[in-house]
Amino acid sequence: MARQEKLYQAVIDGNRENVKKLVKQSLDQNIGIEPLLYDSMIPAMREMGERFSRSEIFVPQMLISARAMQAGLTILGPILAQSEREAPLKVAIGTVKDDLHDIGKNLVAIMLKGAGYEVIDLGTNCSIEKYDEAVEQGVNIIMCSALLTTTRDYIKKVVEHYNDNNAIKVIVGGAPIDQKFADSVGADGYGKDANEAVKIVEQITATQ
Ligand code: B1M
C-alpha cells in the first residue's frame, strides 16, 4: 500500500483537524488501518525525529506532530480495539521512568485491546512501584515501552525486580530496543512493533 501523501504531510505539519478528516476519508474509502498507520502516520513521526536529529526542528514541532498523530489515533483506536473475547486476560503497559513518549505505547495498548486483552495503562514515567500496583491487581504480564537510550536501562531494573517471580513476564519494546537488548537484560519477550507485541503476548498467554 502506498503512502497517503496528504495524511503523511498533515502529521508532519501537525494539522490535527486535517489528520482527523483524512483518516475518516481514508476509512470511508476502505483503506485499511494498518497501511494508514504503518505507511503514512508512523513514517511521518519518524521523519520528524530525523529532522529533530538534524536540528531542523525543535521539541515544540515534534510535540505538535505528536498531538496530530494522537488525534488520528482517537479515530482509529476504537475500531482497532473492537474485540469478541468474553473473558479478557489482563496485561499492564507503561512507558518507563523518566520517559514521556506515549504514542507507541498507546498503539500497543490499542492493538492488545483489539486482540481481546484487558489493558491497564500505567501511562508514562512509570516506576517499578506503578508496575507493582498492577501486579497487585492480578496482572502477570508487564509491558515496558522506552523511546530514549537514556531511559531504556530502566527496563533492566524492572526485569531484575521480577527475576525471582516466575509468574510475572516482562515484555519490552520501543525505538531504541531490539532483540539483542531484550535478551541482554533477560526480558521474557520483545516486540518490534505493536503487531509483534500482541503476538508475543499471545504466545505467552497460550502457555500460561
Ligand atoms: Co522525542 N525523541 N524527545 N519527543 N521523539 C525521539 C525518541 C528521538 C529518537 C528523536 C531524535 O532525536 N531523532 C530522540 C531520542 C534519541 C535517543 O534517545 N537516542 C528524542 C529525544 C532526544 C527527546 C527529548 C530528550 C528532546 C529534548 O527535550 N531535547 C525529549 C525527552 C522527553 C522525555 O521523554 N523525558 C523528547 C520529547 C518528545 C516530545 C514530548 C516532543 C514528543 C513525544 C510526545 C508523545 O509521545 N506524546 C516526541 C516525539 C514525538 C518523538 C519522535 C519524533 C516520534 C516518537 C513517536 O511517537 N513515534 C521520536 C523519533 C522517532 O521515534 N524516530 C523522538 C511513533 C510511534 C508509533 O513509534 O514510539 O517507536 P514508537 O512505537 C513503535 C515501536 O517502537 C513499538 O511499536 C510502535 C509501532 O508499532 N513499540 C513497542 C513502542 N513501545 C513498545 C512496547 C512494546 C512493544 C513494541 O512492548 C512493551
Q: DSSP letters of 82-131?
A: ----SSPPEEEEEEBTT----HHHHHHHHHHHHTT-EEEE--SSB-HHHH
Answer yes or no: is the C-beta of 126 below 6 A from any ligand 1 atom.
no
**Ligand 1, atom 37: closest residue by C-alpha:** 59
DSSP state of 208: -
pTM of the model: 0.93
Which superfamily does CATH assign the domain made up of 90-207 to?
Answer: Cobalamin-binding domain (3.40.50.280)
Which superfamily does CATH assign the domain made up of 5-82 to?
Answer: Methionine synthase domain (1.10.1240.10)
The yes-or-no answer to whether 5-82 and 90-207 have a common fold is no
Answer yes or no: is the C-beta of 66 below 6 A from any ligand 1 atom.
yes
Q: At what angle do helices 5-13 and 42-53 cross, to 10 degrees?
A: 50
The domain locations on the chain are 5-82, 90-207
DSSP state of 41: I
Q: What is the secondary structure of 136-167 as a DSSP string?
A: HTT--EEEEE--STTTTHHHHHHHHHTTT-TT
What stretches in the chain show pLDDT beneath 70? 1, 83-88
C-alpha cell at 7: 495524511
Answer yes or no: is the C-beta of 116 below 6 A from any ligand 1 atom.
no
- How far, in Å, from the CA of 86 to the mean position of ligand 1? 34
pLDDT in tens, 90-115: 999 999 999 999 999 999 999 898 88
